[in-house]
Amino acid sequence: MSPTIIRLARKSLLVSLFLGTLGYLLAWGTLSVMSTFGSQDPANEQMLWRTPMTMIVIGLVVAVLTDVLAQGLKRRPAAQTPAQIAANVVIPPAPMMAPKLFSPDDQEPRTNLPIAGISSSAASSRM
């Protein structure tokens, strides 16, 4: 089933339950007031099912029409041009370069980098 039909069914179900319950309560209240004042016609018993059904049908029609109208008036996004699509492409930054530990000429370790926090003069004085 399409998403539109599922959305309409879900909204219509809530509307139907609410209006059906409200219609039954109104019909029951009206029938009890009428019987209190002496109008006990057996044809009035139809009010208990006709009022809720009428309210449900009117509610369903209004719910479907308002949803269809809202979908018809919804603004659709404009199609993007190729230039707009290209402008949204994210180019990642260049990767970070690791520090060079060896000079490119002689492949010897650089002397200005401390090794484990001990300088060469401190290491030779301990011996």
Residue 87 in tokens: 């402008």
Coil, strand, or helix at residue 102? Answer: strand
Domain range list for the chain: 3-73
pLDDT digits (tens, 9 = 90+) for 11-21: 888 888 999 99
Is residue 121 over pLDDT 70? Answer: no
How many angstroms from the chain centroid is the CA of residue 83?
Answer: 30
pLDDT > 90 fraction of the chain, expressed in percent and rounded: 16
Region 80-97 average pLDDT: 79
Task: Classify residue 47 by burial, with Cβ atoms within 10 Å: 0-12, 13-18, 19+.
Answer: middle
